A and B are shown apart, each in its own frame.
Chain A
């Protein structure tokens, strides 16, 4: 079945970087954009950016410009999101989500990866 499977939970110190992976299966990885959305505990959803797995083109939310990098490895159908200069406010669950063909919706989501930033 169509699914996105993310890497496991991470604990990082302030100032460090984290790289989360998102492995796609059940569909052609290069045919759909991958987006990243995060959610702090008890808070709403925050979009971070998108990547076209075919071209590698990316677009980042202004808030994360300069701190986030989205990449992919098409040979293993995996997308990555790296966030640098971590601070406590980055503690959240990070989701990857497939871009639906219509209306910029996200139709398939990963299970989420908890990233904790703590000294």
Chain B
């Protein structure tokens, strides 16, 4: 199975900050990498698909990059509603998720 490792596991930041979350695959997954946001008690929400494509309706402050084994999710200017847990997911071979990155208010 392909393992997905996110870093950091948790992160404290302030409104207006630029934040980057990293996801590393245990083997190359091309661009088969998606990012989700999950708030407490809610289902995950698709933010980015195919590593860098913004899902319809998602604010442009979210962006994704990378290919192969190393990927990043960037939030250019944190808003209050962005404090949540973020997951990466690979779909190159079966489906696996990263362990999540909890983004908290500083």
Contact = CB atoms under 8 A, between A and B. Distances in A.
Interface string A89-119: 0000001010010111111011110000000
Interface residues of A, number: 22
Residue from the set A47, A104, A105, A109 with the largest chain B CB neighbour count within 10 Å = A105
Contact of B32 (A46, A62, A103, A107): A103
Interface string B6-20: 000000000000000
A102 B96 contact: no
A104 B97 contact: no
Contacts of A110: 43
Interface residues of B, number: 27
A104 B33 CA distance: 8
Contacts of A107: 46, 49, 55
B22 interface: no
B99 A44 contact: yes
A105 B92 CA distance: 11
Contacts, number: 68
A45 B49 contact: no
A103 B91 contact: yes
A44 B94 CA distance: 17
Nearest to B34: A105
Interface string B44-63: 11100111010100000000
A52 interface: no
26 contacts: A47-B94, A47-B96, A47-B97, A61-B94, A61-B95, A62-B1, A100-B46, A100-B49, A102-B49, A102-B50, A102-B53, A103-B32, A103-B53, A103-B91, A104-B92, A105-B34, A105-B46, A105-B49, A105-B55, A106-B44, A106-B46, A107-B46, A109-B43, A109-B44, A110-B43, A111-B43
